[in-house]
Chain A
Amino acid sequence: MKKLVILGAGTAGTMVANRLVRMLNMDQWHITLVDQDPVHYYQPGFLFAPFGIYTQKDLFKPKVCFIPPLVKLIQATIEAVDPDQNKVHLGNGMTLSYDFLIIATGTDIHPEETPGLGEHEWGKSIHTFYSFQGALALTQRLRNWEGGRLVVNVVDNPIKCPVAPLEFIMLADWYFHEHGMRDKVELIYATPLDGAFTKPVASRLIGEMLSDKGIQVESEFMIEHVEPDAKKIISYDEREIDYDLLVSIPLNKGADVIGKAGLGDELNYVPVDKHTLLSNKYPNIFALGDAAAIPTSKAGSVAHYAIDLFGDNFVRYTEGYELLPTFDGHANCFIESGFGKGVLLDFNYEQEPLPGLFPMPGVGPFSLLKESEMNHWGKLMFRWMYWNILLKGQELPLTPTMSMMGKWKV
C-alpha cells in the first residue's frame, strides 16, 4: 500500500482528498487527512457577517460531512514534520509515515506581530473579520457603533483573499448609508500597496470606485505599531492615522510547524514550482492552497483551479511519469462593491485582470472589471457552490486555465 498524508482539511485539503479518492486505485492507496479543528469554516462568509448579510450559522459545518468514507480523518495538531524521514508527528502521540505528502495548512492571522495590535483594545476598538470569532465580535461592534472614523488597515502582503479588505470598506459604506449614518462616518483605507490593488488596470478602476464612494486611500502605509490608548496607527515612515474603530488585517503567515520543518520561506509559505506545486526541495512533497508560495492570489477559487489540474498530474507522477507544467495561476475574484453590486476579476500569472465577459465570451453572464448586479449574485451563489460542488471536489463547467477569449485589451 502507498501512503498519502494530507496536512490540513480546509478548502484545499478537503477538495484534493475528494478528488484523489476517485482518481487513485484505493486498493493500493491509504489517504490520511490531519486537522486540529473539527469545524470547517466558510471563510468568504466572514466578510458578510459583520453587515448582517450572513448569520453565524451560515459560516460553518462539521468537517466530517465533506470527507469521503475511504479517507481517514485524524483530528489532531500537527506537531512536527520530518521530511528527511518521511514522517509527521501529531499532538496525540501518533507518528504517520508517508510516501507522498500534501501540505494544505493554509494561512492565518498574527496580530501579535504588530506591537499594540492584539493587546488590551483587541475586540474593543480594534477588530478583524479575518477569523470566525473576529467576524462575530465585529458584527456586535458595528451594530452599536455611533460613528466616527473607521480605518481599515492591511498590515502586510500577501494576505488571503487580497480583495476582501476593499470589499469590507465598500460594504461598510453601503451599510452606513442604509442605517442613515453615512454622514457620521469617515472611511479610510490604509494599505502598504501604492494603490487600491496590485494590478494596474484593476487598481485604477477600484481606485475610482473608492473615491466615488468618498473612501480615502492612504497608500504605501506600512504599519509599525498601534497606540491602542491614543487610538492611532503609526507607519515606519512616521505617518499617523487616528481612528475610532480600527479594522485590521493582521500579518498573514503559514503554519509555524511548516517553518520549523525547514519547508517554508520567511512567512512559512512553501516554495514550490508554480506550475506543478511540487516542493523545490523534496520530490515527494506538494503544497496546495494558501500554504504554497506562488505569485497568485491566496483564494479558494485558485485552489480549485489548481487542484483541477493537480489531480491528473499527481496520478501521472505516482505512475512514474513527469509532472506537466499545467497550472497558470488562474484566479477569479468576485469583489462586492456595495448596493447589491459586484465586480469580477479573472487573471493569471502573466495576464492582469481585463474587462470583458465571463465565462462565455461575449455572453457572460458575468462582466469582468465592471460593476453589475449579476456579479453580486455570483458572489452569493458561491456559498452554495462551495459547500455542494467545490469541497466535494466536483468539476465546474469552467476551464481551469485562464482564457483570453471574451476579454478586451485596454
Chain B
Amino acid sequence: MRKFLSDLWLLTVRALRVTIRVPFAIIPNLLISLFFLLVYQGGLSGIAALPVFGKLPYINFILPVAVVSGAVGGAGGAGQSLIRDIDSGYFMKLRLSPVSRTALVLAPMIAGMAQLLVQTALIIAVAYAMGLTLPHGALSLVGLLVLTAGWGLAFAGYAVAMALRSKNSQAAQAATFVFFPLLFLSDTFVPIRAIRAHWMRIAAQFNPTTYVFNAMRSLLSPHFSTTVYWHGVLAVLLSVAFTLSWASWTASRSLRKEL
C-alpha cells in the first residue's frame, strides 16, 4: 500500500510537471470556458428577465455551463496525456517497471483533476468579477468544486478508457465529442421547463449533466434544495462508478496485450 501511494504520488507529480510544460494543451480549453461565460452572459442575459428564471442573475445560471465545459476539457487532458505517453513509448517504459497498474492509469486522472480544479477556480473568479453572487458563501463554492471534480473524474475515466482502447490520438480526440451532446442536450441555456422541443426535454432528462447543472444552480440560488443537490451528487457518483470501472476493465485487458 505504501508502495502504491508512493508510486501514485510520483506518477501524478510527473504528469502535472509534464502538463505545465505543454501549456498549449491546457490554455485553449480554459479560454473556451471563459469564452462561453462571456458570450452567453453577454448575448443571453436578457432572457433572465423571464419569470422562469425566478430573478436569478443569468451569470449564476450560466456559470455551471462554463465550469462543466472546463471540467470536461480538463479531464479529457488525462486521456490526452496517456496517449502522448503511448505515442512516445514512455508508457511502455512505465509498464516495464514494477509500478501498480492501477497507479499507472490513475495518475493521469488525478493530474487531470488538479488541473481542472485550478481551472474552475479561475473561471469562478472571472464570473465573480462579472457579477456572480454566492448566496451561500463558502458552501456554494465548495459544493461547486466537489461537483466539478466529480464530474471531471467521470469524464477522465471515460477519456482514459477511450485512450487505452484506441491507442491513437485522433480516435481519442474524436471520442471527446460526446462532450457536445452531454453539454448541450440539457437545460444548458434555459430551465428545462422552458425547452420547447419535446425530444430535447426527454434527452435532457436522461442526460446526467442536467442533474449536475441543477445541483450547481441550486447552490448558486437563494432557494437551495438539498434534494436537487443530492440528485446531482448521485448522478456524479453513478457516472464515476460507471466510467472508472470501464477504465479499469479496459486497462486490465489492454495492458496484458500489446500497446
A and B associate: no
- A residues with a Cβ closer than 8 A to B are none
